[in-house]
Amino acid sequence: MRCTKGADLARSGESQEVIAKWEGDWRATVTAGAFSFPVDEPPEAGGTDTGPMPTDYFLGSLASCYALALAWSARKRGIELPDLQVSAVGEYDGPRFKEIRLTVNTSLPIEELEPLLAPASRVCYVSNTLAHVPKIDVRQADICA
């Protein structure tokens, strides 16, 4: 049996992989390429508060992806996008968000910003993934010698 590491597949352009390593209690370290970052829960949820919660990263990935997509949309049209900030607020419904609101904050006039929103939505991988929910396939890894 030949085992292919997920990282090899990620480089093919057909997939992307991150690895979460459990560190004990409610902590994990996520590795994405050359970067690593901590994940934890707050003390009131049994964690030690050594990093953001998974849902913080989830909302952060949506807000940052949309911000980058807006910047792309503006640049493509030759529009300066000053002081751009995108916030994401998730409204909990049990163990999930029932609604997520993105708020775009910039001094760009609304009549110039509005035409950028739809093109940004089309190229934002995270919002597209949420809009078209992917199948989640959980498997046990092969053990290779």
68-103 residue pLDDT tens? 999 999 999 999 998 999 999 999 999 999 999 999
Nearest to 36, CA basis, from 55, 51, 15: 51
Q: Residue with structure tokens 């030690």?
A: 48
Domain locations in the chain? 1-52, 54-145
Query: Which of 62, 123, 121 has the alpha carbon at shortest distance from 88?
Result: 62
**In this predicted model, what pLDDT tens digit does every residue of 11-56 receive, in sequence order?**
456 899 999 999 999 999 999 999 999 999 999 999 999 999 999 9
Considering the domain delimited by 54-145, tell me its CATH architecture. Answer: 2-Layer Sandwich (3.30)
Task: Identify whether the C-beta of residue 37 lies closer than 8 Å to the C-beta of residue 54.
Answer: no
Amino acid at 33: G
